[in-house]
Amino acid sequence: MVAHVPSFRQQAFINGEWVNADGRASFAVVNPATSETIGHAPDMGAAETRRAIAAAAAALPLWRRASVMARAQILRRMSQLMIEEQDRLARVMTIEQGKPLAEARIEIAYGASYFDWFAEESRRIYGDIIPGSQDRRLFVIRQPIGVVGAITPWNFPSAMLARKMATALAAGCTMVAKPAELTPFSALELADLAMRAGVPAGVFNVITTNAAAAVGEELTHNALVRKITFTGSTAIGRLLLKQASEHIQKCSMELGGNAPLIVFEDADLDRAVAGAVTAKFRNAGQVCIAANRLLAHVSIANAFAEKLAAACAALRVGNGLEDGVAIGPLISMAAVEKVERHIADAVARGARVLTGGARHALGGSFFQPTVLDNVSPDSLICHEETFGPVAPVMRFETEEEALNLANATPFGLASYFYSRDISRIFRVAEKLESGMVGVNETAISTAIAPFGGVKYSGLGREGSRFGLEDYLEKKYICLGGVE
Ligand code: NAP
């Protein structure tokens, strides 16, 4: 049975007001599980973005000087409201994005944890005193960077924005956010909660659009914006970095991944299978830190692949609002076609389909969870982010070979491995080229640790005290003439 769907905001949010696009243009948002239009969002462009930036700039002086206690209280209230409204917010997310309701609830709680964490961190933006010479005293203070432009993707429509918003507001910055065209409503709900939590007008603004390039250009070409924070594909990240160079805006880039998951011969196999299922099939594989390539030692590869295929075949596919559904639809038919291309290419290079391998009988963008065995490392699936429910298993013989395979990618967001050998654990963790490593664990993302990548996976970190640094400037003050 499909559960109740709540109402939600369908206007953009500028300077504390709910507004339409100048020409009242709007675009439809479609539920990927049913192909039904669930609502409309304003189709804004450069002019509205400019107004939102001006509002954020006007709100900055008061917000940056607000007492740390006042800011912390508002952020904590934001976290509480998210938890109080967890179920409603999760339903909005499921109908616009497709993920199972249970996953959507977890995402809301995860986003709330960032507000909670940064409510505390905002009270600890300490400075430094550096020993100087006899007649000088040297100080370093940390100040908010200023107005931040945030652009976020559709795969975690609430949490990807909550991570940025919580940190920016904690640092004393103000923000203009642009969510993905496919999933604008979860972002608008965050604006609604911000207003109710007491975030002053202009501090947080949301522009919705189906003309992302125009809004991105205004955010990067407007000198009032001092930082761009982006989560999305490496291609768009690269474009924004170029655009941001005009006004030398600071940039945080959370980009694509191609995570390896290595299962060594000394691993706890059942734990590895359970970890691989979470890392590969959560959000139907549409996760930047999804395990994109599974590498199993030859001695346990058959057992691992078979257990994984059995676990995968048990995952129920369906509308995310229905009880017991583990895999929702893919976001679009283009995503389905990419998955099919990856499977066909792997099979042409000798891979065997252990389970799944085709579109689901439900039709639309539903796809069967799939396990491929004996995948050749030169397959497309090993080099591109699949962003779908396909687990390709490769084999290796030595630790060195596993590391070479794992690092044979320009991406470096997350890596995972399973082993019970303590020397190997340190050796391999240190040699993997990624910003994050999960050892015997794939649920690694948390507000209290730095999330981010190396190589083509991005710049900067979100979460933890390190995340806050990315929204602060260090100012050195030299006081001379001290007798
Ligand atoms: P995307 O195409 O790069 O889109 C991301 C955001 O950028 C959307 O809001 C999109 O707007 C906007 N955008 C597109 N073209 C733009 C332009 N010319 N100027 C300014 N903004 C523009 O990525 P996606 O397909 O939505 O998301 C999937 C990607 O995100 C994957 O590569 C995934 O790995 C990555 N991701 C990374 C992380 C991380 O933390 N590292 C987390 C989640 C996802 P429209 O939607 O309106 O086009």
Task: Find the 153 Cα to ligand 1 centroid distance in Å.
Answer: 4
Whether 12 and 206 have beta carbons less than 8 Å apart is answered as yes
Say if ligand 1 is within 6 A of residue 153 CB.
yes
Query: For residues 453 and 462, is the Cβ–Cβ distance under 8 A?
Result: no
Nearest in space to 189 (alpha carbons), one of 107, 283, 73? 107
pLDDT of residue 134: 85
CA distance 341 to 363: 18
Q: Is the distance from the beta carbon of residue 213 to the nearest atom of ligand 1 less than 6 Å?
A: yes
pLDDT grade, residue 483 (50/70/90)?
Answer: confident
pLDDT mean over 441-461? 98
Average pLDDT over residues 243-256: 98
Kindly give the number of the ligand 1 atom that is closest to the alpha carbon of 211.
47
Q: What confidence score (pLDDT) does residue 3 get?
A: 54
Residue type, 88: R
- Within 287-407, strands assigned E span 291-297, 352-355, 370-373, 390-396
Give mean pLDDT, residues 298-307. Answer: 98
Catalytic residue among 217, 218, 254, 462: 254
Residue at 292: amino acid letter: N
| Residue 65, amino acid | R
Nearest residue (by CA) to ligand 1, atom 22, is 212
Ligand 1 in reach of 256 Cβ (< 6 A): yes
Mean pLDDT of the residues in the chain = 97
CB of 386 shorter than 6 A to ligand 1: no
pLDDT of 428-448, one tens digit each?
A: 999 999 999 999 999 999 999
Distance CA 401, CA 398 (A): 5
What contacts 191, CB < 8 A, 6 or more positions away? 9, 13, 204, 205, 206
**pLDDT confidence of residue 133:** 81
Q: How confident is the model over 73-92, as pLDDT tens digits?
A: 999 999 999 999 999 999 99
Task: Give the tens place of pLDDT for each residue, 34-87.
Answer: 999 999 999 999 999 999 999 999 999 999 999 999 999 999 999 999 999 999
- Predicted confidence at residue 132, as pLDDT, reads 78
Burial (CB count within 10 angstroms: exposed 0-12, middle 13-18, buried 19+), residue 129: exposed
Residues 412, 453: Cα–Cα separation, whole Å: 5
DSSP secondary structure string for all residues of 185-242 = HHHHHHHHHHHHHTPPTTTEEE---S-HHHHHHHHHH-TTEEEEEEES-HHHHHHHHH
Token pair of 288, please? 């930047």
- Whether the per-residue pLDDT at 318 is higher than 60: the answer is yes
441 in catalytic set: no
Q: 152 CA distance to ligand 1 centroid (A)?
A: 6
Question: Nearest Cα to 355, choosing from 394, 397, 305?
Answer: 305
What is the arithmetic mean of pLDDT over 111-128? Answer: 97
CA of 325 to the centre of ligand 1 (A): 26
Cα 483 to Cα 100, 130, 403, 478, 480: the distances in Å are 68, 17, 60, 14, 9
Instruction: Please list, in sequence order, all residues whose beta carbon lies within 8 angstroms of the beta carbon of residue 299, skipping any fewer than 6 positions away.
Output: 265
- 254 included as an active-site residue: yes
State the Cα–Cα distance between residues 162 and 205, nearest whole angstrom. Answer: 13
The answer to whether the CB of 232 is under 6 A from ligand 1 is yes
> Per-residue confidence at 1, pLDDT binned at 50, 70, 90?
very low
CA-nearest residue, atom 2 of ligand 1: 233
Q: What is the pLDDT of residues 394-420, one digit of tens each?
A: 999 999 999 999 999 999 999 999 999
